[in-house]
Amino acid sequence: MVASLTEILEELKEVFTPTVAKAEEDVEDVEEDEDDEDDEDDEDDEDDEDDEAVSDQYDTLRAECQETEEGKHLLHHYMECAERVTKAQEDPNYADAEYKEDCVEEFFHLHHYINECAAPKLFDHLK
């Protein structure tokens, strides 16, 4: 009976344990692969140039929304808060302070506005 339990546990172990096999490479194959990689790198450089020409349209729209009057106002509030927090962190007694300000609320107001402004315009720009 103990032998059968051991066999069952071994079978369960084999079922649930992933098997990993590593392929062995010949030295000659590795040298040939390195030559092929050089050729592929040249082709990849050409593709990268095409990718650089196209920018993310959503990022562009978000930047435009940030430059609106409301966006500038919210960004100003966020930057003021970040400056206050940075200044407070420089205080040697900051670790013992009872209240530590963060700028989460200002951050969410800013990004909520930017996303709400940019999202409706995005589908007009997509192909």
CATH architecture of 57-125: Orthogonal Bundle (1.10)
Tell me: the pLDDT tens digits for 15-71? 777 666 666 666 565 555 555 555 555 555 555 555 556 678 889 999 999 999 999
Single pTM value for the model: 0.55
**Site of tokens 């009057």:** 69
DSSP secondary structure string for all residues of 57-73: HHHHHHHHHHTSHHHHH
Tokens of 51: 């990718």
Is residue 92 left, alpha or beta, with left meaning phi > 0 and alpha meaning psi from -120 to 50? Answer: alpha
